[in-house]
């Protein structure tokens, strides 16, 4: 289980002194295991944000849409859908955030009548659905992920303090 806090963490824990952590590493693990653990860490962080948003009344629907580089990785998208329990739709044609921003500006400046006018322009290529079997496994790992930060928070802060004082030593 990886805590992906290599430059602190913003939403939802807001802790600049949080630090990255890899828990459970053994001699059995390979580079591929580590790579996958880092992808999964993004999924756990996304799920944590979705849950906190829900607690604040920002309910995420059963379907999430993704854009950008992550949408071109079916492995990463499958991991995200299994961890979050949400269906994930990846657009075709390399649609990314810049196009989305331009379309939003178009609606905001009345270049387009409404979102329905532009919605038809974006074609969804693939819909990823969560695997119930994988979800059960990820739920167990997620429990550890959520607990880990709380358990080692004080030690992360101490490490930050020590490393900042000794940063320039060779």
What is the predicted pLDDT for the residue at 37? 98
Contacts of 38 (CB under 8 A, 6+ apart): 2, 4
Q: How many domains does the chain have?
A: 1
User: 73-127 pLDDT, tens per residue?
Assistant: 889 999 999 999 999 988 776 666 677 788 788 888 988 888 777 777 766 678 8
User: 45-72 pLDDT, tens per residue?
Assistant: 999 999 999 899 888 888 887 877 777 7
Residue 169 lies in a domain: no
Residue 74 lies in a domain: yes
For residue 62, the enclosing domain spans 2-159
User: 10-51 pLDDT, tens per residue?
Assistant: 999 999 999 999 999 999 999 999 999 999 999 999 999 999
Instruction: Tell me the CATH number at 87.
Output: 3.30.420.40
Q: State yes or no: cis peptide before 12, omega within 30 of 0.
A: yes
Residue 165 lies in a domain: no
H or E segment and range at residue 160? helix 132-165
Q: What is the band of 168 on the pLDDT scale with cuts at 50, 70, 90?
A: low
Report the Cα–Cα distance between both ends of the chain, in Å, rounded: 31
Residue 13 lies in a domain: yes
Q: Which residue has the tokens 């969804």?
A: 124
What is the predicted pLDDT for the residue at 83? 98
Residue 168 lies in a domain: no
Q: Which residue has the tokens 């790992």?
A: 141
Longest dimension (CA), the chain: 61
């Amino acid at each position: 289980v990886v805590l992906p806090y290599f430059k602190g963490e913003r939403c939802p824990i807001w802790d600049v002194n949080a630090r990255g952590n890899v828990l459970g590493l053994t001699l059995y693990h390979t580079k591929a295991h580590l790579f996958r653990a880092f992808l999964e860490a993004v999924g756990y962080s996304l799920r944590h944000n979705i849950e906190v948003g829900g607690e604040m009344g920002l309910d995420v629907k059963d379907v999430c849409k993704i854009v950008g580089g992550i949408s071109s990785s079916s492995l990463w998208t499958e991991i995200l859908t299994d961890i979050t329990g949400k269906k994930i739709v990846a657009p075709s044609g390399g649609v990314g955030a810049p196009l989305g921003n331009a379309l939003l500006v178009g609606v905001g400046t009345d270049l387009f009548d409404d979102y329905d006018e532009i919605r038809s322009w974006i074609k969804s290529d693939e819909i990823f659905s969560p695997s119930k079997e994988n979800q059960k496994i990820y739920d167990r790992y997620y429990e550890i992920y959520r607990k880990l930060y709380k358990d080692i928070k004080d030690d992360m802060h101490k490490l930050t303090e020590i490393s900042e004082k000794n940063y320039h030593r060779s």
